[in-house]
Amino acid sequence: MNKIVLITGATSGIGLACARKFAANGDKLILTGRNEVRLSEIQEELTAQGAEVITLTFDVRDREKATSCLNTLPQDWQNIDVLVNNAGLALGLEPEYEGSFDDWETMIDTNIKGLLTMTRLVVPGMVARESGHIINIGSVAGDAAYAGGNVYCATKAAVKALSDGLRIDVANTPIRVTNLKPGLVETNFSNTRFHGDTNRASNVYKGIKPLTGDDIADVAVYASNAPAHVQIAEVLILATHQANGSVIVRK
């Protein structure tokens, strides 16, 4: 309780749901994202409910800006207890041999390198304080590739490898590392994937009751609240009629 929680990509979907759930849990929030106006609106919403919130506007791909923003944190906000590496995206669903170089670069730079940047910037303080928790938002997509998922799936497989690697690297400390692997969650994810084609995006969730951002945020808060000797290492969270990244039964 009353931890300092930094969430990347807090302006939408799972990140926003985490902001609301951690705030309701009594935690202090550092909300980061690219959309300054949206961040201010969310800050206003949560402070009206009694939460303490700081916002930082940066793109996780911009290492220098991320570094300088973190350096602006007041002294008593620098001891980040929980890092939620959530910012991420999928772009396209083309076969690997037809994919867009630009889309690949954006996914790799955001989902892998952005996550690594945040980890590199925040975790040394946790190690020095011998306290902390990193919650990475991986995906069922990281367990096995699905048709057209190729590069996105590879980035989420990387999130699993980086979570597992970090867990080994901090095993001699009280720091915990959690990889949350959601399946179908209805957010802005598919709109982004299909470059704003809302019809195509809504078809992704047709005939199945998808997960919500809140469903994932509940697990993140649970992992954070678990007793210090309990490390929720990995959780796969699927919609009930989804069996894996490829098998989705629509009715």
Using alpha carbons only, give the angle 184, 190, 193 rounded to the nearest 5 degrees: 125
Respond yes or no: is residue 152 known to be catalytic.
yes
Between 15 and 132, name the residue whose CB sits nearer to ligand NDP.
15
Q: Which has the closest alpha carbon to 111: 73, 154, 78, 76? A: 154
Residues numbered 45 to 64 that lie near ligand NDP (CB under 6 A) are: 59-61
SS3 235: strand
Question: Residue number with the shortest CB distance to ligand 8X3?
Answer: 139
Q: Interaction with ligand NDP in 104-143: which residues (CB under 6 A)?
A: 110, 114, 137, 139
Q: Which residue has the tokens 């629509």?
A: 250
Identity (one letter) of the amino acid at 174? P
The CA–CA distances, whole Å, from 201 to 107, 137, 193, 204 equal 18, 21, 8, 6
Rounded to an integer, what distance in angstroms lies between the CA atom of residue 215 and that of residue 185?
9
For residue 88, the partner it binds in ligand 8X3, ligand NDP, none, with Cβ less than 5 to 8 A by kind, is: ligand NDP
Only one of the segments 11-19, 61-69, 77-85, 138-146 lies at the binding site for ligand 8X3 (rule: CB under 6 A); that segment is 138-146
Shortest distance, position 117 Cβ to ligand 8X3, whole Å: 20
- Taking CB under 6 A as the binding criterion, the range among 21-29, 55-63, 105-113, 137-145 that sits at the site for ligand 8X3 is 137-145
Residue 132 site contact among ligand NDP, ligand 8X3, none (CB < 5 to 8 Å, cut-off depends on kind) = none
Asked if residues 67 and 114 have their Cβ atoms less than 8 Å apart, the reply is no
Coil, strand or helix at 177: strand
Contacts of 234 (CB under 8 A, 6+ apart): 138, 160, 163, 178, 179, 180, 181
Cβ at position 186, least distance to ligand NDP in Å: 7
H or E segment and range at residue 45: helix 36-48
Interface stretch with ligand NDP, choices 21-29, 32-40, 69-77, 171-179 (CB under 6 A): 32-40
Q: Which of the following is catalytic: 146, 152, 205, 222? A: 152
Among 33, 132, 183, 213, binds ligand 8X3 (CB under 6 A): 183
25 forms part of the interface with ligand NDP (CB under 6 A): no
CB atoms within 10 A of CB 104: 18
Binding-site ranges for ligand NDP (CB under 6 A): 8-9, 11-15, 33-35, 59-61, 86-89, 110, 114, 137, 139, 182, 184-185, 187-189, 192, 213
Catalytic (active-site) positions: 152
